[in-house]
Structure 1
């Protein structure tokens, strides 16, 4: 499986509204809000299961720009990267090495992190996806029948039992969990589990 790009899925109740990369999800969700007038949605980052919030005020272009999903400008200047500033503590020799890198400290650190993520073992990536499915289940299906049994099956990696427990759940909820677990099973298979 290639290095995954973050994807997002929005839900209105048990119904999936949009799913895809950030730009696609934002545009489809914005369109849903405008046509339905309904703004109380839950949006999940698929690779973590974390709920995220977006500001849908203004035009579609303004929404994309606000959340760093707009197409980069052509011409001089840097496009917004969506960077988050945080403190990093390193030894003097590490700072010296970073300062000598031709593309600068931040670019070098980003490159090192991206390379490390690509080398991340499939087992760890599979665990993260399983945990993302668990977070999603807690948020969206905690009151559905057989939730506790389904949750136990998830964390026991008993996906066939889990599928049986969620077979009567709303279609979009079930399909979202299944999509995450299919990716998880692919990674587990690649890791030889």
Structure 2
């Protein structure tokens, strides 16, 4: 943290900084801040990103007893939850991004409301059918957006 004394006129401020070497201190602090903001935590070459996790003490206690430590246990729990999800979260995300695209671009197209209804109902064939009269580039992009992203085991 750098505290600056900005009382007085511009000339007085410049004189004060020049006399006390505060300009150099400010420049050093600015360089240090820039250097620290470009450094990242974690293991970026491995794709590991450090983030903050807020848990209750009982959760930390349980994690501490797990083989491999807290990070490995959390990764294992997330992977298990993703497998148990059966792709439902990915489908929901696909429907939401398709809806945002279509509401911004195709809201006035014929059959828009019906297309959105069948999109969220998960009826892929009916969704494509409702967009048959739309411009091909809009229709094709919407169909591509509506597909859940394929997830690999390591991601």
The structure in which a higher percent of residues are strand is: 1
Q: Which has the larger radius of gyration?
A: 2
More relative contact order, 1 or 2 (CA 8 Å, 6+ apart): 1
> TM-score, structure 2 length as denominator?
0.50
> TM-score, structure 1 length as denominator?
0.42
The structure in which a higher percent of residues are helix is: 2
